[in-house]
Amino acid sequence: MERKMKRIIFLFGSLLLMLVTVACGNKSENKDKGTESSEKIFKISAIPDFDQGELTRGFGDFAKYLSEKTGMKVEYIPVVDYAAVVTAFERGEIDMVWFGGLTGVQARSLVPESEAVAQRPGDEKFQSVFIKQKGLQISSLNDVKGHSFAFGSESSTSGHLMPRFFLEKEGINPDKDFDGSPIYSGSHDKTYGLVEAGSVQAGAVNKQYWDKAVKEKKVNTDKVEVFYITPEFYDYQWTINDVDKKFGEGTKEKMKQALLNMKAGDSEVLNLLSTDKFIPTKNDNYKDIEKVAKSLGIIK
């Protein structure tokens, strides 16, 4: 009887110890999960104006650079189109975006507390190029009348907004004067691809991407050539959301300094964007783009 009681006591003690151990383990695990879930992630993105694979590699590497320089967890979020990244920025789902001139104006009109903080040196003297199938008798903007034409994204500054503006200055209505309605390819590489393939006779693309594509032999210049270069205008920029409210005082300045202190070799994103540094910018630099967008009815 005594041996039986000792065995019962031993088994009861073992069971109690096991229950205590499991409970402590669950408490610790829940604590760890709580810490992990409460960690805030600073999310960056970019308008998808070029090959998505290259964008993901370049901006993914940039996210690592920002993490190292700021001590924050930074993540690159790819998006499907221009409108998607503006919407995500408005909702506060994205904290900082590499916008084009027009999308930046759109985003800042929706989030008044946001700010354009950095650009490339070339973004204050940006240009678009008009391209055509080689051999076509097109040498001026007026000559484009009656030909098929491709813009980039409808929300692109250098692939649509400013090219349309310069066409209209010449008295050309893109919706009436081309051979059919203009095509919106979605990105610069797709636009020159359409012209090269003969799907359209002419188009407008970002000059910087065009120059890069020519240099890297991504476009066949035996089939496509430039016939017009636009005057200069402001374009791309980093716009940051109301992040001090979300992450704490000083976050915006921390990110801004990380951008402005970048130098060649710090991140693949500089090569992707064909620059060796970023310089300061401000919202007022994009007032002209805002005026053009309003005059064309693109924004109110």
Q: What pLDDT is recorded for position 296?
A: 84
pLDDT, mean of residues 78-102: 96
Q: What pLDDT is recorded for position 51?
A: 83
pLDDT in tens, 18-72: 443 334 444 444 444 444 445 799 999 999 987 889 999 999 999 999 999 999 9
Of 184, 203, 229, which residue sits at a domain end? 229
Tell me: do 51 and 116 sit in the same domain.
Answer: yes
Report the percent of the chain where pLDDT is more than 90: 81
CATH number, domain of 194, equals 3.40.190.10
Q: What pLDDT is recorded for position 79?
A: 94
Q: What pLDDT is recorded for position 240?
A: 98
Distance CA 157, CA 234 (A): 9
**Residue range(s) defining the domain that contains residue 178:** 127-229
Q: What pLDDT is recorded for position 52?
A: 86
Chain position carrying tokens 């507390």: 113
Residue 83 lies inside a defined structural domain of this protein? yes
pLDDT in tens, 194-248: 999 999 999 999 999 999 999 999 999 999 999 999 999 999 999 999 999 999 9
Q: What pLDDT is recorded for position 38?
A: 58
Residue 212 lies inside a defined structural domain of this protein? yes
**Per-residue pLDDT band at 299 (split at 50, 70, 90):** confident
Q: Count how many domains the chain has.
A: 2
Tell me: do 103 and 239 sit in the same domain.
Answer: yes
pLDDT in tens, 254-290: 999 999 999 999 999 999 999 999 999 999 999 989 9
**Per-residue pLDDT band at 110 (split at 50, 70, 90):** very high
Residue 138 lies inside a defined structural domain of this protein? yes
